[in-house]
């Protein structure tokens, strides 16, 4: 029989019965197990520090200092509801490409920062906090500063630059925040906040929600950033203070794959009858459902900060264009540009870069690409030097 005949004969045979012991990805009940266990901050930062100012205590995370003289300091500001740990993966990536040091701190009302008047989230107050933290850490010997912020943090970067709170500022980077689209989104912001769960039964549950809801599309980023956004309801402590988790709490149940065509063994089916009749036992009350356990809640109630939202974004585009240092605007979509920024970009007033296939948290979804874009921007403006092994794809300004 020739090979052609064999192929034709096989194509007419009925399909083979699948082996229930070896499930396939297409089988019902099969799913790949994702690790939602939280990660520690020290896997990405070299040091954490509590900086005390007149307003209170700010939690600061620092990467390892660089040996090169004149290397810039990247001051990283997170978005509303996030924490400084949202910059963890980005900090680890960018320090591999260029000589710099990263400084990320929890903004007032977020993370492990505790201040007077925590509810005061006005743009002026938050911008002043940036200057106070840097002044408390470096005094008069502040290195060259690149101010970089995401969403609300990007708006604070623009306000801080216009208020001249950092005399050594040499560059501003804003991630995915534009005045026009931001103000339009405020109308539906309360509905979005109400759609989020108010509590979580575990840290892993919160991380899983973060990924499945699309807030962060990178599982590894969510594992380190999400614990900085929730607090233990009983102790009122941030979830990061409970890490590392104990072995029993971090272990996950193993999945058992059962094929629909599998038949139970007779020994298993008749195990109860083989033991003979037993005395009836008193009914035992079932344990409380795990779905009703409320152990963690959000660190900050963003709905209460509504009165400050318009102040963050109103007039932001013109203020961004008025900054007299080199500027970089990094967006998740070209449609996010408003009219003022479109005209400014055509006039070459700032560098624009668009990264597709990512969500609002661009620096968490694609930390390596964002690090490459920033490294290209800093080297192009001669603000930083590449490391010895800093071979990377240089992104030219493009949309």
DSSP structural state of residue 398 = B
Catalytic residues: 151, 176, 360
Burial class (CB in 10 A: 0-12, 13-18, 19+), 261: exposed
DSSP structural state of residue 319 = H
* Predicted pLDDT at 228: 97
* Predicted pLDDT at 202: 95
pLDDT at 10 over 60: no
* Predicted pLDDT at 172: 98
Binning pLDDT at 50, 70 and 90, where does residue 339 land? confident
Among left, alpha and beta (phi > 0; psi -120 to 50; other), residue 212 is alpha
- Closest-CA residue to 293 (of 243, 232, 242): 232
User: Residues 93-139: pLDDT tens digits?
Assistant: 999 999 999 999 999 999 999 999 999 999 999 999 999 999 999 99
* Predicted pLDDT at 268: 41
Q: Tally Cβ neighbours within 10 Å of residue 81.
A: 20
Binning pLDDT at 50, 70 and 90, where does residue 42 land? very high
pLDDT at 325 over 70: yes
- Give me the mean pLDDT over the 335-361 stretch: 90
Give the chain's domains with CATH numbers: 41-195+304-386 (3.40.50.1820)
Do the beta carbons of residue 307 and residue 190 sit within 8 Å? no
pLDDT at 18 over 60: no
C-alpha span between 378 and 101 (Å, rounded):
13
User: Residues 60-76: pLDDT tens digits?
Assistant: 999 999 988 999 999 99
Whole-number Cα distances in Å, 234 to 156, 180, 200, 256, 293: 32, 41, 13, 34, 12
Binning pLDDT at 50, 70 and 90, where does residue 316 land? very high
pTM of the model: 0.81
User: Residues 266-284: pLDDT tens digits?
Assistant: 434 444 443 444 444 444 4
- Give me the mean pLDDT over the 221-244 stretch: 96
Do the beta carbons of residue 41 and residue 88 sit within 8 Å? yes
pLDDT at 260 over 50: no
pLDDT at 35 over 50: yes
**Length of the chain, please?**
399
* Predicted pLDDT at 139: 94
Among left, alpha and beta (phi > 0; psi -120 to 50; other), residue 382 is left
C-alpha span between 103 and 61 (Å, rounded):
6
**3-state SS, residue 125:** helix
Looking at every residue in the chain, the average pLDDT score rounds to: 84
Terminal CA-to-CA distance of the chain, rounded, Å? 60
User: Residues 171-189: pLDDT tens digits?
Assistant: 999 999 999 889 999 999 9
pLDDT at 24 over 60: no
Which string of b and e fits 86-120 if b means at least 16 CB within 10 Å? bbbbbbbbbbebbbbbbbbbbbbbbbbbebeeeeb
Do the beta carbons of residue 185 and residue 327 sit within 8 Å? no
């Amino acid at each position: 029989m020739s090979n052609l005949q064999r192929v034709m004969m096989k194509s007419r045979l009925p399909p083979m019965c699948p082996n229930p012991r070896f499930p396939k990805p297409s089988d019902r009940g099969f799913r790949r197990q994702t690790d939602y266990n939280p990660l520690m901050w020290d896997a990405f930062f070299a040091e954490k520090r509590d900086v005390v100012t007149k307003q209170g205590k700010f939690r600061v995370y620092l990467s390892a200092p660089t040996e090169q003289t004149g290397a810039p300091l990247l001051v990283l500001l997170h978005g509303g509801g996030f924490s400084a740990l949202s910059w963890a993966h980005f900090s680890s990536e960018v320090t591999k490409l260029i000589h710099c040091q990263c400084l990320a701190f929890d903004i007032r009302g977020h993370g492990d920062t505790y201040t007077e008047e925590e509810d005061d989230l006005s743009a002026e107050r938050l911008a002043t906090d940036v200057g106070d933290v840097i002044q408390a850490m470096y005094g008069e010997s502040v290195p060259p500063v690149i101010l970089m912020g995401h969403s609300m943090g990007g708006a604070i970067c623009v306000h801080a630059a216009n208020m001249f709170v950092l005399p050594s500022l040499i560059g501003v980077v804003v991630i995915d925040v534009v005045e026009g689209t931001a103000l339009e989104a405020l109308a539906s912001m309360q509905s979005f906040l109400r759609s989020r769960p108010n509590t979580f039964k575990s840290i892993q549950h919160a991380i899983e929600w973060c990924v499945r809801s699309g807030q962060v599309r990178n599982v590894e980023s969510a594992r380190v950033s999400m614990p900085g956004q929730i607090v233990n309801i009983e102790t009122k402590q941030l979830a990061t203070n409970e890490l590392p988790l104990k072995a029993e709490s971090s272990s996950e149940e193993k999945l058992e794959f059962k094929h629909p065509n599998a038949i139970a063994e007779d020994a298993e089916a008749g195990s109860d009858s083989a033991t003979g009749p037993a005395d009836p036992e008193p009914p035992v009350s079932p344990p409380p459902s795990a779905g009703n356990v409320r152990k963690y809640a959000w660190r900050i109630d963003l709905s209460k900060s509504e009165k400050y939202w318009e102040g963050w974004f109103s007039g932001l585009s013109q203020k961004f264009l008025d900054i007299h240092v080199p500027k970089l605007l990094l967006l998740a979509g070209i449609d996010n540009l408003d009219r003022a920024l479109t005209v400014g970009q055509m006039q070459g007033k700032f560098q624009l870069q668009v990264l597709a296939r990512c969500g609002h948290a661009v620096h968490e979804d694609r930390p390596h690409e964002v690090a490459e874009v920033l490294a290209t921007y800093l080297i192009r403006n001669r603000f930083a030097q590449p490391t010895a092994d800093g071979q990377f794809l240089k992104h030219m300004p493009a949309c």
